[in-house]
Amino acid sequence: MELVSKVKNKLLKNSYVNELNKRNKLRRFYSRGIKPNDKAETILFWSTGGMVVQSNLEGAIATSLKLRGHNVRMILCDGIYKACAKRVDFPDVPIEDWGKYCRSCISQNSGLFKKLGLEYTFISDLVSEEKLMELKSEADKITFENYKDISLNGLRLGSHLEATMMRHTRGALYTGLEEHLKEYALTVLVNAEASAEAVKKFNPTRIYMSHGIYADWGPALHVAIQKNIQTTSYICCYLTAHFFFGSVKNFDETFLTVNEKSWSKSKSIAQTPVQKKRLENFLQRRYFSNESHDLKGLLKEYKGDKGINYEKYGLDPSKPVWGIMTHINWDATSDYFPMIHKSFDEWLYETVKEIYNVKDVQWLIKIHPSEKNDNPETGCQEFIAKNFPDLPSHVKVVKMDDEISSLDFYDLLDGAVTVMGTGGLELSMKGKPVILAGEAHYSNKGFTFDAKDNDDYKRLLRDTKNLQGLDEEKKSLAWKYGYIYFIQKQIPLTPTIMENLYIDFDKIDHLLPGKNKFMDFLCDRIIDGENFILPEELVSLTHITDLDQIRNDS
């Protein structure tokens, strides 16, 4: 017994020493940064959703801000609700087992923040037992008849609940999922309550979160906007360990928004040969080198032969061809860019119905290739098959698994229609007219046909034969915006963030002020709320350009 006691005491002592060494190491690390002063901001990180990759990304940003003298506080879920964003990753797990995943999730995320020396607060610390019982009672009243009217403290939260259910079912009907609806309703209500309480308790001057939609983040963003607190949201983009960031101050902004001040400045300046070559190089890598994350596993070989596809789809070369580029109909449906129609499905239905009578144009409805993996049974291809089983001869479907590359599809088109897809920007850069049925991040920039309402949209569809290609001025605007979007807004978090999007603790020093110009830039924008658009001196550090080729081309 004496030996056991000695071993136990030694282990406890070693554990205490190890913990003390960790604290001292963190203290020394943060002492190399800037001490908090009267200019320090208080930044709340809404780090819910249960995704450890996001916690790594947000932990790196929070550490960087703390090193620059700001007060940082992480807000974490600790299993107070079990319906979170991770549930869609495990569709076969029955609802009664959802809570089994919480313990490991809490341990991973809180352990990471503890390792980084970041203070965190659990949601259960912000919502009392009494209040939780009250919210559970309210959630239990939610049905398929009233769920769109769910609200708390004057906030209308129905869009967040609807978007979450659409994500969970991947666009399928909710039949038989009333229990799921109630669980997600509780998540929406708890996050609305917790975020309001967090604002009261910590009085943040800035809030940082993921894309600001769904049950996990939407209510918190709603609270931030209601309280007029500047918020930064972010999302992965095309290149590895690169991200889009944006300052969100109202409901028509996201991480993609380019404000009028920044756009006016960019469009007034001539694009240089170096900038054009950078953009060309990126697009070349996007379609030929498999470097773009949105095309991973979906990239088709470019044939460059229009004749093959004219024959494949039975097209008449003497008549114009217009494309309708569909969306993943369940994804990001509560993004705050307004749409003319209530949903992507409604848009597709009204569009196909209208083009039945637009016979002087050949129409190709391009199904998003991701449907093959994401929702083949509930996506746009199946929607068209059910609602339009006998399409007229001038309307054809380019199916989700058709062997045609995006570039070959673009080559066929005289113009295109979308709600807010990136393909609309790429086609505009090719000088082709694009009709938008929603306020895309690139709409109202002078190079797209922006439908004002449903009647205007239908008029544009009927007039497609007469819509001409873009003149050089409009095409130039599209290229200038494309440079902002594809080059200047893709901000790297390397080298501290690795390709797998986890923190490389051997390179944690790169988060220190002055060690990484991109991190300095990012932290400055989070504080001042300006657009996250890289200046040329930073772009030149991350985009390699063949200057000899530019000179030869000139």
pLDDT at 4: 53
Tell me which residues of the chain have a pLDDT lower than 50. 333-334, 546-554
How far apart CA 98 and CA 179 sit, in angstroms, is: 12
How far, in Å, are 50, 102, 188, 246, 352 from residue 96 at the CA level? 18, 13, 19, 37, 41
- Neighbouring C-beta atoms of residue 492, cutoff 10 Å: 19
How many CB atoms neighbour CB 539 within 10 A?
A: 18
For residue 547, what pLDDT is reported? Answer: 46
Identify the H or E element spanning 257: none
* Domains of the chain with bracketed CATH: 29-259 (3.40.50), 300-488 (3.40.50.2000)
C-alpha span between 123 and 96 (Å, rounded): 21
Type of residue found at 365: I
- The confidence score (pLDDT) of residue 211 equals 83
Q: What is the pLDDT of residue 339?
A: 85
Instruction: With beta carbons less than 8 A apart as the criterion, state whether 441 and 459 touch.
Output: no
The answer to whether 169 touches 129, Cβ cutoff 8 Å, is no
- Please tell me whether the peptide bond between 495 and the residue prior to it is cis, using omega within 30 degrees of 0: yes
Contact 432, 415 (CB under 8 A): yes
- Does the model's pTM come out above 0.75? yes
d(CA 17, CA 506): 22
- Exposure letters 185-220 (e unless 16+ CB within 10 A, then b): bbbbbbbbbbbbbbbeebebebbbbbbbbbbbbbbb
CA distance 91 to 267: 46
End-to-end CA distance of the chain: 86
pLDDT at 23: 79
Per-residue confidence (pLDDT) for residue 554, from 0 to 100? 43
For residues 442 and 145, what is the distance between their CA atoms, to the nearest angstrom? 36
Q: Answer yes or no: are the C-beta atoms of 58 and 208 closer than 8 Å.
A: yes
- Give the burial class of 231: count Cβ atoms within 10 A of its Cβ; 0-12 exposed, 13-18 middle, 19 or more buried: buried
162 in helix, strand or coil? helix
